[in-house]
């Protein structure tokens, strides 16, 4: 459950953000911009330049859509704070990226589990200007739309370890393209510099079988050779690999299970 509620969007697609929300956006963006220049992949940085996000105020959805539609035919779609898998996959299949129109509070400035406006816009939208990434994301939505509930659980791991927490090699260096990392200052540093996490070459069978938790720093990241690898993935029979992964079962988790409390 979420404590946040999306703000209403008017007929022109605009949200009435408050001065405090503008200030929170400013502080989130300026802090993260200082980190990503040396950490993000070229496709992300190029996309961020195209978006030309305002810093002093929260951007409006039509401003984002103007760039995304021009570059890849995508657009952002305002949604409630939480949506179900049916809606999520249907939107992606239609080249619409769901964006909850709420911004985190000062109390949860560093981390919150729910994907807020900053996470969705700053973390994800720059990559959606990249045609190869955009194609992969739409294909993912189309597959998820037709998948069974159990298949969707396996597909979710593919999304998690690419769109949310993916790394890529670039000129011999590790760079970030995953929005879950790029919207988190702690994880931006941790993903590239910390000695603790594993950084494995991307293997579809392993990715689909790797458990994850949403409330911890990731113990493992998967590294693409280049962003084009995502496009190649989108042209593979991904559901064949999902079925193979389901037969093989999950790999042992690299994290402690959440504590279970009994009433």
Asked if 184 is an active-site residue, the reply is no
Number of domains in the chain: 1
Q: Of the residues 6, 183, 184, 234, which is catalytic?
A: 183
Asked if 183 is an active-site residue, the reply is yes
Look at residue 262 in the predicted model and tell me its pLDDT.
47
The answer to whether residue 11 sits within a structural domain is no
Model confidence pLDDT, tens digit, residues 189-243? 999 999 999 999 999 999 999 999 999 999 999 999 999 999 999 999 999 999 9
> Which two three-digit tokens encode residue 152?
């969707």
- The residue whose two tokens read 């979420």 is 2
Model confidence pLDDT, tens digit, residues 150-192? 999 999 999 999 999 999 999 999 999 999 999 999 999 999 9
Asked if 26 is an active-site residue, the reply is no
Q: Of the residues 77, 124, 187, 241, which is catalytic?
A: 124
Look at residue 1 in the predicted model and tell me its pLDDT.
52
The answer to whether residue 242 sits within a structural domain is yes
CATH number of domain containing 223: 1.10.800.10
Please give the model's pTM, rounded to 2 decimal places: 0.95
> Which two three-digit tokens encode residue 261?
């409390």
- Sheet with 198-201: list strands edge to edge: 173-176, 167-170, 220-224, 198-201
Q: Of the residues 21, 77, 119, 170, which is catalytic?
A: 119
The answer to whether residue 259 sits within a structural domain is no
Cα–Cα distance list, 80 to 7, 85, 124 (Å): 8, 13, 18
Q: Is the dihedral of CA 25, 62, 101, 38 positive or negative?
A: negative
The answer to whether residue 256 sits within a structural domain is no
Question: What gap in Å lies between CA 215 and CA 112, rounded to an integer?
Answer: 9
The answer to whether residue 88 sits within a structural domain is yes
Model confidence pLDDT, tens digit, residues 47-90? 999 999 999 999 999 999 999 999 999 999 999 888 999 999 99
Element (H, E) at 176: strand 173-176
Q: Of the residues 120, 164, 170, 220, which is catalytic?
A: 164
Question: What gap in Å lies between CA 230 and CA 243, rounded to an integer?
Answer: 19
* Domain housing 36: 19-248
Asked if 119 is an active-site residue, the reply is yes
The answer to whether residue 183 sits within a structural domain is yes
The answer to whether residue 119 sits within a structural domain is yes
The answer to whether residue 224 sits within a structural domain is yes
Model confidence pLDDT, tens digit, residues 109-144? 988 888 999 999 999 999 999 999 999 999 999 999
């Amino acid at each position: 459950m979420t404590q946040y509620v999306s703000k209403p969007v008017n007929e022109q697609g605009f949200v009435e953000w408050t001065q405090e929300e503008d200030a929170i956006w400013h502080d989130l963006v300026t802090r993260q911009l200082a980190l990503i220049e040396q950490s993000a992949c070229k496709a992300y940085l190029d996309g961020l330049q195209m978006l030309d996000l305002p810093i002093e105020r929260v951007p409006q959805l039509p401003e984002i859509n103007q760039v995304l539609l021009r570059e890849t035919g995508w657009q952002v779609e305002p949604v409630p704070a939480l949506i179900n898998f049916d809606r999520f996959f249907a939107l992606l299949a239609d080249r619409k990226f769901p964006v909850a129109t709420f911004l985190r509070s000062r109390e949860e400035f560093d981390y919150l589990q729910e994907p807020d406006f900053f996470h969705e816009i700053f973390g994800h939208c720059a990559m959606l200007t990249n045609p190869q990434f955009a194609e992969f994301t739409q294909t993912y939505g189309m597959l998820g739309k037709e998948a069974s509930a159990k298949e969707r659980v396996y597909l979710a791991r593919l999304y998690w370890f690419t769109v949310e927490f993916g790394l890529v090699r670039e000129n011999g260096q590790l760079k970030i393209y995953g929005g879950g990392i790029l919207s988190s200052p702690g994880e931006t540093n941790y993903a590239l510099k910390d000695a603790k996490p594993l950084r494995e070459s991307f293997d579809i069978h392993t990715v689909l079988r790797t458990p994850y938790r949403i409330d911890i720093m990731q113990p493992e990241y998967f590294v693409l050779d280049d962003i084009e690898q995502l496009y190649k993935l989108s042209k593979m029979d991904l559901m064949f690999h999902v079925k193979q992964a389901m037969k093989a079962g999950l790999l042992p988790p690299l994290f402690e299970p959440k504590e279970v409390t009994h009433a």
